[in-house]
Amino acid sequence: MFRLVTKFIGQPRNIIWLIIGLSGLCVMAWLMNSENPHNTMALTGFFLLLFVISASVGIFCTNIVRHGLLTGGGVFVFFILRFLGLREWYYLLLLVLCLISLELYSQKR
């Protein structure tokens, strides 16, 4: 456990990804407070901001762009499924398995 923590702390991080994530979070809060939730453009902006925020924070935390994009895509698809009313547990299981298979496929290339 200690090696994992020192490995995480020891690697230099690009602070720009964290700044993008936090500023995106502020923009999302503004969007949610100022726009009508039934507006199609507001929903599109919300989901795109959600992807950008989760991808940038994922890139900052893992320091690997591929993992950050997979994290962002997973969060994006999860919330799209929730929005569409698909709330069963097996949708989440299938999403996690799909993300794991995409990670394994991209490692072998």
Q: Which of 7-11, 20-24, 34-38, 39-43 has the lowest mean pLDDT?
A: 7-11
This prediction has a pTM of 0.84
Instruction: Give the separation between CA 62 and CA 43, rounded to whole angstroms.
Output: 28
| Segment (H or E) for 1 | none
Supply the mean pLDDT for the chain.
Answer: 88
Instruction: Give the separation between CA 95 and CA 14, rounded to whole angstroms.
Output: 29
Mean pLDDT of 57-75: 93
